[in-house]
Amino acid sequence: QKEVEQNSGPLSVPEGAIASLNCTYSDRGSQSFFWYRQYSGKSPELIMFIYSNGDKEDGRFTAQLNKASQYVSLLIRDSQPSDSATYLCAVKNQAGTALIFGKGTTLSVSS
Amino acid sequence: NAGVTQTPKFQVLKTGQSMTLQCAQDMNHNSMYWYRQDPGMGLRLIYYSASEGTTDKGEVPNGYNVSRLNKREFSLRLESAAPSQTSVYFCASSVGPTEDTQYFGPGTRLTVL
């Protein structure tokens, strides 16, 4: 069974700080990696995806991928209370047909 | 453009009852998915349809059936509901099976007593 692991949290950071969310995956053949944000009672929405080793930046968000270590992370700079949500890491299976989700990390940003 | 819609939003069933969850998308996507989300368990794939006319099992298919009615609609049926099927059900769609962005519907909260 392919697995995606995340710390459940909660991860608490003050407003303006950097929030660091981490994810490890077991399938070494995985090629595509995703971060979804889910507000309480709402559906998941895609924040970023990353395919290549290294960093990918989009506004205040940076995704980092290290395939050798099977590790994906999401950094949120200048965290805002509106960033308070559960962040889901997802990895596409080797067949490329389905996403495997981690259990999510709950982030709380205090003002 | 409504995106992905799901009906109903909430449902309470008794053990042994059957029901069908409906999902529709208006984005002309080829692939559609059904997930369930339980506290502490994350999202788990029940079934998916890579294209119209095809369906495949996901991680947790037992107790469910699906129908890809046409390109727009993908329904999930519980033939004999069990308390273990109490969950939030999300439908999602993507352009194709290998396209990466999945768009999620608002979810159906199902309680089986």
**What DSSP element (H or E) covers B24?**
strand B19-25
Residues 32-51 of A with CB under 8 A from B: 32, 34, 42-46, 49
Could you tell me which residues are beta bridge partners of residue B57?
B47
Q: Please state, in angstroms and rounded to a whole number, the distance separating the CA atoms of residues B42 and B37.
A: 6
**CA B63 centroid distance within chain:** 13
Predicted confidence band at B18 (pLDDT cuts at 50, 70, 90)? very high
Residue-wise pLDDT for A61-75, tens only, equals 999 999 999 999 999
pLDDT at B99: 66
Q: CB distance from B107 to chain A under 8 Å?
A: yes
Question: In this complex, which of A96, A102, A104 lies closest to B97 when CB atoms are compared?
Answer: A96
Report the relative pairing of strands B74-78 and B87-94 from DSSP bridges. unpaired
Q: What angle do CA B79, B66, B17 make, to 5 degrees?
A: 15
Which residues have a Cβ under 8 Å from the Cβ of B19 and sit 6 or more positions away? Answer: B11, B13, B77, B78, B81
Average pLDDT over chain A, rounded to an integer? 92
The Cα–Cα gap between B39 and A55 comes to 31
Nearest Cα residue to B81 out of B37, B20, B17: B17
User: Residue holding tokens 């994810």?
Assistant: A23
| C-alpha of A50 from chain center | 10
Top-confidence residue, A97 or B60: B60
What residues contact A51, with CB distance under 8 A and at least 6 apart? Answer: A31, A32, A33, A65
Question: Is A43 close to B90, i.e. CB distance below 8 A?
Answer: yes
The pLDDT assigned to A91 comes to 92
Better pLDDT: B96 or B48: B48
Residue of B nearest to A35 (CA): B101
* Neighbour tally for B92: CB within 10 Å: 25
CB contacts of B46 in chain A (<8 Å) are none
* Average pLDDT for chain B: 93
Q: What's the token pair of residue B37?
A: 């989300």
